[in-house]
Structure 1
Amino acid sequence: MNKLLLSLLSGIILALAWPTYGFPLLLFFAFVPLLLAEHQLRLSDVKRKGLKVFGLSYLTFLIWNAITTSWLRFADPFGAGFAVFVNSALMALIFLLYHKFAKRQSANRSLLFLVVLWISFEKLHLIWEFSWPWLNLGNGFSEYISWIQWYEYTGTFGGTLWVWILNVLIFKGVLSYQKEKSKQVLKSLLLKCAGLIIVPLLISFGIYSTYSHEGETVNVIALQPNIDPYSEKYNMTNLKFAELFFELSNSKITDSTDFIIAPETFLAESTRLRQFNNSLLKNKFDRYVLEHPNVNLLTGISFYNMFNDKNKIRKETNVYKYTPNTWYDDYNSALLINSLDSVQQYNKSKLVVGVENFPYQDILKPLIGDFMIDLGGTVSMKTTQDYRGVFTSSNSKFKAAPIICYESVYGEFVTGYVRNEANFLAIITNDAWWNETQGHKQHLSYAKLRAVETRRDIVRSANTGISAIINAKGEITSSLPYGEKGALSGQIITNNKITFYVMAGDYIARISVFILIFVGLIGFFRRKKEQL
């Protein structure tokens, strides 16, 4: 088959497999056409093979990235273009490295190199400053959570490994059939593929049908104010938002309500951190708690802290342009207010590239100045914290993980809250930047993966998006649709048990990095002995 068509086919299959509209079974052979195209090029006599491999791979990944994440354009066209084109190039680079390696090494060693290289790339996308793990392959099963209940042992890297094992097996089977033209080869391939798909599914179905946990019942309310973030949200005062908070809460509150949860930056008007405790805004929330002494109020807020002491400057500190020798830290925070005296605060620590985080400032700032990629929100460096803070209820029974927006995409990151004794997850987000697209749907869908990995129930409050209650099996038990203003009430169950994944984290990725280094060194010092 024409190599260009093979490249196009892989891109289309990857796109058709992706949540929330796709069917993830397609992932098990999505890379096969591209692998065949690379194999044909490697064995051909054409010149500039590496450039052609990169070009074909880039086309595949450009199709996949563009179709699945084009919703970014509603926040900012440049930001969308940057994310799509650069991420496609990084993925194509992986196939180029595989091509170079395969020219020197055996088929099995080369394919092992490709698998561990891809997994290592996904891990990089979780930890570096240009982090963008949206298309990590393990996320592709988020709408079919009954298939991947074993994520409580492996995390999403188990799904990535599953995908690649099947792709490698099918690729090798196709090459063997092309060489031998034997029906026996096809039969053997089908049996192996069936086993590698069916056995994990059966294990997952078994866990899914039997899983349960015991814990305390938490009565929760998730608010969905449905405020337009491009205009209305940043033109209202926090006192007005407080009134909206009480209005929505009063529509559902009862004497048994334990938590009321409002979305990310619900209190959008920047508030000076040290003045908050004595503010009229805080006083309004305190009075509401006096009327409902058992209630814990969890909300997002924008804080800032100005100072003149150079010793307090951090990498994330901003310069205040209007006053000499003045700096400020800007926080995207979550607050818990209850009948206890102290206010609990957590600062968002996984930041959106370009809006909340200026990556590699020492290198890029001299080149592009203060320009930042606007993916929605306020354009300012946000200040983070090193630990995953957990909010404790006034009765000390409930410990909520205050996960802010983008943080919910990071599996191992979320386990940090659970290791700090969170017994349920509270996701607060603002998904209105992307309009009625796959953006907010995928974001909700990925939250279900965190429920399975940690076996924690989730209450999710979205400004505009989909507010939902998700159980520990990853099932959405109730929700508010996109664009609807209101409050969602329901019950979740706490869980104090720790899953293997919470304890071990992304161990599959770490093992892959080790194997990548080992196999890579072999690739440099040993010549190949066989050719597939």
Structure 2
Amino acid sequence: MLTLVLIATVGAWIGFANPIFHFPAAVLAFPLGLTWIALRATSGRKAFQYGWLAGTLAVTGCYYWMVIPIQTYGGLPWFLALPCPVLLAAFISLYFALFSLGMYHAGRQIDGVPLCLTAGFAWATMEMLIGTLFSGFPWTTLSSAFASWPFAIQGASILGAYGLSGVFVSLAVALLLLSTYRSVLWFALCLTICLTGFGLHRTVFFDVGVADFPISLIQGNVDQGKKWSPEYQETTVKKYARLTRDAVQQSAPVLAIWPETAMPFYLQNMTPLRAQVETLTREVDVALITGSPAYRVTDMKTNTYELHNRAWLMDTTGRTTQFYDKEHLVPFGEYMPFEEWMPFEKLVQAAGNFRPGKENHPLKVNGISLGMLICYEAIFPELAQKQVERGASILVNISNDAWFGDTSAPQQHLNLAIMRAVEQGRWLARSTNTGISAFIDPVGRIAAKGTQFQPESVTLNVAPLTAKTFYHQNVGSINIFIYIMTIAAFGFIGYIAIREKGNRK
């Protein structure tokens, strides 16, 4: 059993993005190993235990980077920070343990292609639950491991990232059963041909639009440890202003995009720092999107207010009449659940807890609707879905991945953002503080990207698109279908097991 745990673990470590050696197809060993554990287990308890162990080891290897923000910016000593990714992985892996348990029971009642399909539906359901329950954290979405192979992820335009993960899991289980069932061979070949054929066709023939909207991504590479210091604020503004002026002189963009909290002060206040940003937009005649903390007074009498993580749109006259407030906040980073019992402060260095935004709409520049996603909002399919549904023709993701240092996290984050571009069939412009800033086309190809940990700009002409993917138009039906098929499959398996038990009596 420990060998099977190792297979699943190493598959996840190599399959998901990492700085040592990344081979996307290796991620198939993760669900393959979990299913193999289930089929070899002598009891449901053993399947659950070893599935949980494999999941914990696998996910810990993907989440190790959490130690850096927790220790460096959260103020925890290393001996308290070090267990944090393990604890989160142990919780997330309860889902993988349940998957192994489910496959243990399924493997005793069905086999061949039905078992492969059951595994696929179960996995897709599991990922949807991981992305929804307890705030949701779908960071290890299986299909995102293939983001560096655009042809492999085009199925997300039909099934979404979660549904595509289910297809990959069905393929992985088919590979496991190849030597036992002849029908599984044809099933695996069919899946491989369909995934590859559709992927190659879409990447070659998809109309990415007329690229006539020039955007500059400004990557400031500002030291995370200094940016919130009052004495460093003016230096930060001047750095972004210089990079923006250089980009305008070289490429003449219509819009410049600065990262999440690029401005570490309240941009809504009429201060000398805001005046510098206003002067910049007037002088270069370019609209600007920038991140900044913001506040809204809720009661003038008691001076009660709430804070937001905001993306401001400043037009070429210096006005900030449009904004987007982050809707899905980071637990323990932007707000503190159970704050009174926590031994540390939240990781974002700004006073108080943020509140989620409501009723956000795309920001409009020259008639073009820009769907905003702040930081890890890009890992949630429903947020990109909402922005496109409200008219976004280009997606924009601003983030501050400086928290993660030189780890796997920035590439993993980028890969998840790529899935949003494919699901929605939209160009996605991604501006980050330290990288990876990039332009992603509607089929998930990196059209241009910056260099990590370098102050620079990246400019590209992108195309506003209005056509909607099959996934966008049918997402509700797709999700319901996956849930129903999973419930039906395990309901049928349970029915057979109960009937057989009755017959033995």
Which TM-score bucket, shorter chain as reference?
Answer: 0.7 to 0.9
1:321-360 equivalence runs, <5 A:
327-339=304-316, 341=319, 343-359=321-337
Matched residue, 1:13: 11
Alignment of 1:257 onto 2:257: no
Pick one of 381, 390, 415 that aligns with 1:445: 415
Alignment of 1:212 onto 2:207: yes
C-alpha displacement of 1:34: 3.4
CA contact (8 A) 1:390 1:420 kept: yes
Matched residue, 1:411: 381
Matched residue, 2:85: 80
Matched residue, 1:390: 362
CA contact (8 A) 2:144 2:161 kept: yes
CA contact (8 A) 2:397 2:431 kept: yes
Structure whose CA Rg is larger: 1
CA contact (8 A) 1:412 1:506 kept: no
Matched residue, 2:25: 25
CA contact (8 A) 1:152 1:453 kept: yes
CA contact (8 A) 1:19 1:142 kept: no
Change (3 A) 1:29 1:282: closer
CA contact (8 A) 1:154 1:501 kept: yes
Percent of aligned pairs with the same residue? 22
- Give the distance between the partners of 1:529 and 1:110, measured in 2 at CA: 19
TM-score by length of 1: 0.82
Change (3 A) 1:498 1:471: same
Worse overlay, 432-441 or 371-380: 371-380
User: SS at the partner of 1:305?
Assistant: strand
| Aligned partner letter, 2:357 | Q
Larger relative contact order (C-alpha < 8 A, sep ≥ 6)? 1
Matched residue, 2:35: 35
- The C-alpha deviation readout for 1:392-423, integer Å capped at 9, x for no partner, is 11x32x22222211011122321211122212
C-alpha displacement of 1:81: 2.9
Q: Where do 4+ consecutive residues of structure 1 move more than 6 Å?
A: 108-111
- Give the distance between the partners of 1:242 and 1:309, measured in 2 at CA: 31
- The C-alpha deviation readout for 1:477-505, integer Å capped at 9, x for no partner, is 22221110122222212212222222223
C-alpha displacement of 1:50: 3.5
Change (3 A) 1:136 1:372: farther
- Give the distance between the partners of 1:408 and 1:278, measured in 2 at CA: 31
- Give the distance between the partners of 1:95 and 1:422, measured in 2 at CA: 40
CA contact (8 A) 1:19 1:141 kept: no
| Aligned partner letter, 1:452 | V
Alignment of 1:195 onto 2:167: no
Alignment of 1:141 onto 2:146: yes
Change (3 A) 1:33 1:457: closer
- Give the distance between the partners of 1:172 and 1:64, measured in 2 at CA: 23
Matched residue, 2:293: 302
Matched residue, 2:275: 283
C-alpha displacement of 1:250: 1.0
Matched residue, 2:46: 52
CA contact (8 A) 1:79 1:374 kept: no
- The C-alpha deviation readout for 1:132-160, integer Å capped at 9, x for no partner, is 10111121211111222232222212321
> How large is the Cα RMSD of the aligned pairs?
2.9
C-alpha displacement of 1:463: 0.5
- Give the distance between the partners of 1:36 and 1:147, measured in 2 at CA: 24
Matched residue, 1:316: none
C-alpha displacement of 1:22: 2.6
User: SS at the partner of 1:346?
Assistant: strand
Change (3 A) 1:235 1:435: farther
- Give the distance between the partners of 1:143 and 1:375, measured in 2 at CA: 30
- Give the distance between the partners of 2:12 and 2:308, measured in 1 at CA: 37
- Give the distance between the partners of 1:252 and 1:117, measured in 2 at CA: 48
CA contact (8 A) 1:142 1:445 kept: yes
- Give the distance between the partners of 1:333 and 1:356, measured in 2 at CA: 12
- Give the distance between the partners of 1:50 and 1:379, measured in 2 at CA: 48
- Give the distance between the partners of 2:210 and 2:219, measured in 1 at CA: 27
TM-score by length of 2: 0.86
Matched residue, 1:119: 124
Matched residue, 1:426: 396
- The C-alpha deviation readout for 1:273-307, integer Å capped at 9, x for no partner, is 8xx264444433333333233x1110000112354
CA contact (8 A) 2:39 2:107 kept: no
| Aligned partner letter, 1:285 | V
Matched residue, 2:262: 266
| Aligned partner letter, 2:7 | L
Matched residue, 1:165: 170
Q: Which runs of 5 or more structure 2 residues have no equivalent in the other structure?
A: 71-80
| Aligned partner letter, 1:343 | T
- Give the distance between the partners of 2:303 and 2:489, measured in 1 at CA: 51
- The C-alpha deviation readout for 1:342-399, integer Å capped at 9, x for no partner, is 521100112222212445xxxx56xx63556856655853211233421111x32x22
Worse overlay, 140-149 or 19-28: 19-28
- The C-alpha deviation readout for 1:456-484, integer Å capped at 9, x for no partner, is 22222110122122222222222221110
- Give the distance between the partners of 1:195 and 1:75, measured in 2 at CA: 44
Q: Which runs of 5 or more structure 1 residues have no equivalent in the other structure?
A: 43-48, 177-184, 311-324
Pick one of 237, 247, 262 that aligns with 2:242: 247
- Give the distance between the partners of 2:350 and 2:246, measured in 1 at CA: 31
